[in-house]
Homo-oligomer: A and B are copies of this chain.
Amino acid sequence: MDTSFNELMDSKFQNLYDDEIQKNFNQNPYLEDFVHAMVNIIIKYMKNCHDRSQKVIEFKEPHELNELINFDLEEKPENLAALMGYCRQTLQYCAKTGHSRFYNQLYSGMDVVSICGEWATYEIAPVFLLMEDAVLKRMRKLIGFHDGDGVFAPGGSLSNMFAISLARYRKFPESKSKGLYSLPRMAVLTSNHSHYSFQKGVNFMGLGQDNVFRVNCDSEGRMSISDLENKIKGLLSQDIIPIMVNATCGTTVYGAFDSLEEIADLCQKYDIWFHIDASWGGVVLFSDRKRYLMKGVHQADSITWNAHKFMGCPFQCSAFLTREKGKLQECNGDPVSYLFQQDKLTYDVSYDTGNKTIQCGRRIDAMKIWLMWKGKGDEGFAKKLHHAYELTNYLIEKIQNREGFELVHQPTYVNVCFWYIPKAIRNLPDNEIKKTKLSKLAPQIKAGMTKKGSMMVNYQPVDDKVNFFRMILINYDTTFEDMDFTLDEIEMLGEDEVTCVAKPALGPKPI
């Protein structure tokens, strides 16, 4: 950290308090300095994020953080220098999610334009509604909807719940006023590799978690069409009404794409709402080479597409799109005279979209994606996708040709799932003992890389497969060399773990 700069700032701001900068706002000499000083702290962090000599994470235990930072809130104010200090510390102990070696979540990299777009987002104005409209319209065009509607939701889980809500309303419009009491049991069908938000959603929405029916997947994580039809038939025979089938485009772990055309046919046959959770995979629609993965997408009744995942917006930016205009308003709307004055004389009230959602005030999520899209064009997203595929293909090849590494499956998207099998267990027979050893290894390697701060990669078990690593390859800054580094590092940490059996685990509560 630049000590001289810090000292300068500290000496300037250490006798200044919040009151000073809020007062006489437009002529206050400290206001601008304070904002720029804060922005400098953030820019420094952004740069560190993309500097490979910096740790991906400066890991501290919660109890250590508690000793480093005084989190307690008090009656008395603290000065501006102290606040700037807190910002520096906070960013220091954040995971650098923009780092070229952050492969942990379904996002990575910092899109500067989008970040600035988010900063410039102040409510309230029709200008944002026009931006929202432009983004949703362009998305619908990529999908192939001729008309339709949409809204931004606070995250993909809620977008998926919006779909359930529309599906329920279409089948049983009386549920809006009467609730579910006198209605038949309803079911939501989704694959056992799909996102857990359906499980959470049906609980919240009164449908009950037992009424999410999990359809089996093939070895690549795609929903089995025959099992889907069997489950639908089984439900109908028990007088349980299937209201929605969810297809996933880009599953969380494998990155699998369900077969949309076949699912669309079944939904049509049995008159079921067809939702697509393309939170993670929607971006393939930008690419002439890859959009075949979502063939049939235009047949969906609704789609979730998270711009905070692949596309690179800061969280939250989840679009919910639907084919039929007006249904969102009809399903969620409620006439509230004190909020949505229909006697407004200033503008066409049809631009008021608030009543389409279940929220009252909403964050403006549209400007950051709109501005970013302006700056990249469709082709910018396609380019980012193709870069991610290059990294993926490189990594797959390396894994296939390197001793001790094993792919979990052959990826179709940019999730690469693999095990590292240390020398000591490499030649053991494939039995429970080997599985148990392997299962414990990923958490240990992960703890090692976190402590070192060299990179971040997620791990998880799936079906009968024990803990494996899942690399998410979307950062525009990530290179082939980073891939080599990653495999070297995993091998090194893995061998280290196996040989140093006596080494104590990290953390206060190893399980």
- B22, B77, B119: the one contacting A39 at CB < 8 Å is B119
**Cα distance A221–B285 in the bound complex, in angstroms:** 52
Question: For the complex, is A481 an interface residue (Cβ under 8 Å from B)?
Answer: no
Given contacts A71-B133, A77-B375, A134-B72, contact A210 B18 (CB under 8 A): no
Residues of B within 8 A of A349 (CB): 509
Closest CB of chain B to A223's CB: distance in Å? 17
The stretch of A121-129, A397-405, A430-438, A488-496 in contact with B is A121-129
- B35, B186, B374, B506: the one contacting A116 at CB < 8 Å is B35
The stretch of A174-182, A255-263, A291-299 in contact with B is A174-182
The reply to whether B94 and A451 contact each other, CB–CB distance below 8 Å, is no
The reply to whether B38 and A119 contact each other, CB–CB distance below 8 Å, is yes
- B113, B126, B338, B507: the one contacting A65 at CB < 8 Å is B126
Question: For the complex, is A462 an interface residue (Cβ under 8 Å from B)?
Answer: yes
17 interchain pairs (CB within 8 A)? A22-B111, A26-B48, A26-B49, A31-B46, A59-B346, A60-B126, A69-B130, A71-B134, A74-B378, A77-B375, A77-B379, A87-B116, A154-B155, A154-B316, A156-B360, A196-B360, A345-B446
**Cα distance A342–B511 in the bound complex, in angstroms:** 8
Closest CB of chain B to A141's CB: distance in Å? 9
Q: Which residue of B has the minimal Cβ distance to A338? A: B460
Which residues of A374-414 are within 8 A (CB) of B? 374-380
**Cα distance A360–B120 in the bound complex, in angstroms:** 26
Given contacts A66-B130, A363-B315, A367-B90, contact A252 B338 (CB under 8 A): yes
Question: For the complex, is A359 an interface residue (Cβ under 8 Å from B)?
Answer: yes
The reply to whether A38 and B116 contact each other, CB–CB distance below 8 Å, is yes
The reply to whether A180 and B196 contact each other, CB–CB distance below 8 Å, is no
Residues of B within 8 A of A111 (CB): 22
The reply to whether B210 and A510 contact each other, CB–CB distance below 8 Å, is no
The stretch of A1-9, A143-151, A200-208, A267-275 in contact with B is A200-208
Q: Which residue of B has the minimal Cβ distance to A203? A: B176
Residues of B within 8 A of A462 (CB): 338
Closest CB of chain B to A304's CB: distance in Å? 11
Residues of B within 8 A of A43 (CB): 31-32, 35-36
The reply to whether B377 and A77 contact each other, CB–CB distance below 8 Å, is yes
**Cα distance A25–B203 in the bound complex, in angstroms:** 44
The reply to whether B443 and A345 contact each other, CB–CB distance below 8 Å, is yes
Residues of B within 8 A of A34 (CB): 112, 116
The reply to whether A380 and B19 contact each other, CB–CB distance below 8 Å, is yes
Residues of B within 8 A of A218 (CB): none
Which residues of A71-115 are within 8 A (CB) of B? 71-78, 80, 82-83, 86-87, 89-91, 93-95, 97-98, 105, 109-113
Q: Which residue of B has the minimal Cβ distance to A141? A: B73
Q: Which residue of B has the minimal Cβ distance to A154? A: B154
The reply to whether A181 and B179 contact each other, CB–CB distance below 8 Å, is no
The stretch of A229-237, A329-337, A421-429 in contact with B is A329-337
Given contacts A61-B347, A122-B45, A444-B345, contact A178 B208 (CB under 8 A): yes
Q: Kindly supply a per-residue 1/0 record for chain A positions 356-377, scoring 1 wherever the CB is within 8 Å of any chain B CB and 0 otherwise.
A: 0011111100010011111111
The reply to whether A22 and B112 contact each other, CB–CB distance below 8 Å, is yes
Q: Kindly supply a per-residue 1/0 record for chain A positions 495-511, scoring 1 wherever the CB is within 8 Å of any chain B CB and 0 otherwise.
A: 00000000001111111
- B22, B32, B59, B476: the one contacting A476 at CB < 8 Å is B22
Q: Which residue of B has the minimal Cβ distance to A124? A: B95
Closest CB of chain B to A115's CB: distance in Å? 8
Given contacts A86-B374, A95-B125, A363-B316, contact A62 B206 (CB under 8 A): no
**Cα distance A43–B348 in the bound complex, in angstroms:** 31
Question: For the complex, is A487 an interface residue (Cβ under 8 Å from B)?
Answer: no
Q: A22-B476, A157-B358, A197-B360 are in contact. List 17 more A-B contacts (CB 8 A).
A: A25-B47, A31-B112, A42-B119, A42-B120, A65-B127, A65-B130, A71-B131, A90-B367, A94-B123, A98-B122, A154-B155, A157-B360, A175-B206, A179-B180, A181-B181, A345-B507, A347-B507
- B22, B45, B127: the one contacting A93 at CB < 8 Å is B127
Closest CB of chain B to A451's CB: distance in Å? 7
Residues of B within 8 A of A69 (CB): 127, 130
The reply to whether B374 and A73 contact each other, CB–CB distance below 8 Å, is yes
- B61, B94, B460: the one contacting A341 at CB < 8 Å is B460
The reply to whether A201 and B130 contact each other, CB–CB distance below 8 Å, is no
The listed residue with most B CB atoms (<10 A of its CB), out of A23, A89, A90, A157, is A90
The reply to whether A339 and B196 contact each other, CB–CB distance below 8 Å, is yes
Residues of B within 8 A of A154 (CB): 154-155, 158, 316, 359, 363
**Cα distance A177–B222 in the bound complex, in angstroms:** 26
